[in-house]
Amino acid sequence: MVSGAVNLRDVGGLAAGRAVTRHGVLYRSGNLARLDADGTRALADLRLRRIIDLRADDEVRYEPSRIDGIEVVTQRVPLFLGSVESFFRDDISLDEMYRRLIEDSSAGVVDVVRGILADQPVLVHCTVGKDRTGVTVALTLAAAGVDPEAVVGDYARTEGLLPQARNRRIVELLRSMHPEAVHLEDLATKSPAPVMRALLDGVADRYGSAADYLRAHGLADDELVELRRVLLRES
């Protein structure tokens, strides 16, 4: 338990054929801006070697991570081209947001995978740990050979881990700014399994697989082999 962390979890134990993902290697979360002293100590106890922050510069300035005293490499990979607020203003769907992310920020996705390969244990996070983190971790797991339904299930867990008080506060604030928005609540609080299934299916239709998507954007075959070695163990 890392007090003050949003949606932090280990992705170990996911089925990957006859293998499973290793515990204590890859973590995912939302921001680290509200860690208290106990939370910072608990985060230090994970012995992370790298933190990959997917947030934009303005998000980092507004909510800096409370990781002072933790010896860790921080890798910045801002994933959205444009502001988070623009998605609410334009009232796009989660499906469209994710399509734009994988097409417009493919170089960033590859950078994240290379960061995961560079150091472990590693934590990948954004503001809530739902969309940028959800898509990037999902593609990473799928490329390593994790079963599609296990990938979908890990993504879908987020919705149940976001505090209801936080959801109400965020939705109320956003609704005051975008009263006619149709997709607002989904964008702010939801991680529906069908959306991730559709994303993985779309990647497979266009590229062949998640591994082929990463290959198409510069990841080498030996890096994919290493990704499987790092993330998976025989069950």
What phi and psi, each to the nearest 5 degrees, are found at residue 90?
-85, -10
| Domain extent listing, the chain | 9-221
Q: What is the pLDDT of residue 82?
A: 66
CA-closest candidate to residue 104, choices 80, 139, 128:
80
The whole model's pTM is what? 0.95
What phi and psi, each to the nearest 5 degrees, are found at residue 5?
-80, 150
Q: In what order do the strands lie in the sheet with 73-76?
A: 9-10, 26-29, 122-125, 50-53, 73-76
Is the bond preceding 179 in cis, omega lying within 30 degrees of 0? no
Q: What is the pLDDT of residue 204?
A: 98
Q: Which residue has the tokens 């008080």?
A: 165
Pairwise CA distance, residues 150 & 55, whole Å = 26
Mean pLDDT by 10 residues, the chain (235 residues): 93 98 98 95 97 94 94 94 76 93 96 98 96 97 98 97 90 88 90 98 98 98 98 94
CATH number of 9-221: 3.90.190.10
Q: What is the pLDDT of residue 83?
A: 67
